[in-house]
Amino acid sequence: MDIDKILDGDKLFLIAGPCAIESDEVCFTVAEKLKAVSEKYDLPVIFKSSYAKANRLSGESFSGHGIDFGLKVLSEVRKKFDLPLITDVHETGEIRPTAEVVDILQIPAFLCRQTELVRQAAATGKWINIKKGQFLAPEDMDKVASKAKSGKVMLTERGSSFGYHSLVVDFRSLLIMKDFGYPVIFDATHSLQVPAGKGSFSSGQPEFIIPFARAAVAVGVNGIFMETHPNPSEALSDAGAMLPMDRLETFIEEVLKTREAVVK
């Protein structure tokens, strides 16, 4: 798939995959399903998984098997399933090797104000997806995006901090960021995290993933970001917030139904 056609096109697109690259088996299982639904529903899909989870509350949390293993698995996903790729970068030293493998470099929400990270990621010529920090107003993201200078920027809403152990989604944010002229994505799983909801680990409210995604599509987002896993309860990262893979087709059918109603 041509990544420019996906991101600049009129079709709704999906960014999806397991939260972390915990094994090649899990990634291949999810990628195979994503490839199948992409073809079945004529839905552009970008495969997402992270080789490292640098922002962990507890030192005991799974943080990944490292960049070498992760990029190897992502390369194999592309080779086997012909899906475009997106993954996180956390430090400027990660940018160059990661850009050689993926189509989109993602700036995690906690790092979105790191100026050199944004600038050097954009300097590769790749698209970058900047996730809005939980601590920022949507109006702030125009300043963050302008650091990239390339114009190949997407902005993702993933909820804002609200008191302790809670996030809230203000759907005005999606419209405010769309006015900047960049593709806007709604993160339907991280927006429903409950940070530190299990003490040392985050939990979530996956029962609300589908209705929240439908609401975002109704508002007019360009794409939906969501994490999925064959057995979320056994996942090594974000087990409480991911959509079970057996719910993936229901998710897609519901958001496409909403999209069809909106564009008529």
Evaluate if residue 58 carries a pLDDT over 70: no
What is the separation, in whole angstroms, between the first and last Cα of the chain?
26
Q: What does the pLDDT average to over 43-47?
A: 98
Average pLDDT, the chain: 92
pLDDT in tens, 115-169: 999 999 999 999 999 999 999 999 999 999 999 988 899 999 999 998 787 889 9
Residues 262, 216: Cα–Cα separation, whole Å: 11
Q: How confident is the model at residue 87 (pLDDT cuts 50, 70, 90)?
A: very high
Q: Distances in Å between the alpha carbon of 103 and those of 15, 16, 20, 221?
A: 12, 14, 18, 20
Give the distance from CA 36 to its chain's centroid.
Answer: 19
Q: How confident is the model at residue 57 (pLDDT cuts 50, 70, 90)?
A: low
Global model pTM greater than 0.75: yes
User: Virtual CA dihedral for 181, 13, 161, 212, nearest 10 degrees?
Assistant: 120
Report the percent of the chain where pLDDT is more than 70.
92
pLDDT (0 to 100) of residue 44: 98
Q: How confident is the model at residue 202 (pLDDT cuts 50, 70, 90)?
A: low
Pairing mode of beta strands 203-204, 193-194: antiparallel
Only one residue has tokens 């609200």, namely 162
Residues 28, 195: Cα–Cα separation, whole Å: 28
pLDDT (0 to 100) of residue 31: 98
Of the two residues 240 and 214, the one the predictor is more confident about is 214
For the chain, list the domains and their CATH numbers: 3-263 (3.20.20.70)
Q: How confident is the model at residue 244 (pLDDT cuts 50, 70, 90)?
A: very high
Residues 108, 106: Cα–Cα separation, whole Å: 6
Is there a contact between 153 and 122 (Cβ–Cβ < 8 Å)?
yes
